[in-house]
Amino acid sequence: METRELLWAEAMRAERQGDAAAYQRLLKDIATLLRKLVRHRLGQLGLQTYEAEDLVQEILIGLHEKRHTWDPDRPFMPWLFAITRYKMIDGARRLRRDASRRMDLTFEDLAEIAEAPAEDFDRTMLDLEHHLSTLPGGQQTVVRALAIEGASVKATAGRLNTSEGAIRVTLHRALAKLKAAALREKE
């Protein structure tokens, strides 16, 4: 019976020989394992598990960038776990730092920010457009789809060809920026 170590080491060796398909399968398998591992570890650290996908991607990028450092005569898993460990440490530090400045914003908060008297509907729409225009393009698209058009997270993820987790993270970040902008205007 072949173990994960043997399969993944063989896939890395195949990558060195130019087998892109083997490398893609390897990355997919590793990503599946990492998603479980990272979510669990973030939960243990008391951090938000919806941040897991970003951290998984950082680890995969690190693996890709450092793949030339793996020695085919040595075991693969310790090399992979070393990269994972260092990326997890860096990611956890960043997430803890970010958590101290994070504002959780609900749809109700967004509605309150954008709320205006009914007689001033045109001005409200202009204000909303102004605030949305300050966001990066991807965040604008997600906020428009979810908060304005009423699309579901799943439908938006499908339309944008990304994961539901990535959509939630993007929405959270966009709403936090909008709330911060609204608070600055009230001062």
User: At residue 121, does pLDDT exceed 50?
Assistant: no
Q: Which pairs with CB-CB distance under 8 Å and at least 24 residues apart come from 89-94?
A: 90/58, 91/51, 91/54, 91/55, 91/58, 92/41, 92/42, 92/45, 92/47
In terms of domains, do 88 and 20 share one?
Answer: yes
In terms of domains, do 61 and 133 share one?
Answer: no
- The string of pLDDT tens digits covering residues 50-103 is 778 888 999 999 999 999 999 999 999 999 999 999 998 888 888 777 766 655
Instruction: Retrieve residue 137's tokens.
Output: 């393009």
| pLDDT at 131 (0 to 100) | 76
In terms of domains, do 94 and 175 share one?
Answer: no
Which of 68, 99, 130 terminates a domain? The answer is 99
111: domain range? 107-186
As a whole-number percent, the residues of the chain with pLDDT over 90 amount to 34
In terms of domains, do 80 and 158 share one?
Answer: no
Give the residue, 120 or 53, on which the prediction is more confident: 53
Question: How large is the average pLDDT for residues 161-173?
Answer: 87
Among 57-61, 119-123, 134-138, which stretch is predicted with the lowest mean pLDDT?
119-123
pTM score over 0.85: no
In terms of domains, do 20 and 93 share one?
Answer: yes
In terms of domains, do 60 and 23 share one?
Answer: yes
CATH of residue 129's domain is 1.10.10.10
In terms of domains, do 93 and 13 share one?
Answer: yes
CATH of residue 19's domain is 1.10.1740
In terms of domains, do 125 and 77 share one?
Answer: no
Q: Which residue do the tokens 């399968």 mark?
A: 25
Kindly indicate the confidence band of residue 178, based on its pLDDT and cuts at 50, 70 and 90: confident
User: At residue 119, does pLDDT exceed 60?
Assistant: no
Cα(179)–Cα(23) distance, rounded to whole angstroms?
42
In terms of domains, do 13 and 47 share one?
Answer: yes
Averaging pLDDT over each range in 2-6, 9-13, 40-44, 170-174, which range is the top one?
A: 9-13
In terms of domains, do 25 and 111 share one?
Answer: no
Cα(17)–Cα(9) distance, rounded to whole angstroms?
13
User: At residue 31, does pLDDT exceed 90?
Assistant: yes
Work out how many domains the chain is built from and give that number.
2
User: At residue 124, does pLDDT exceed 80?
Assistant: no
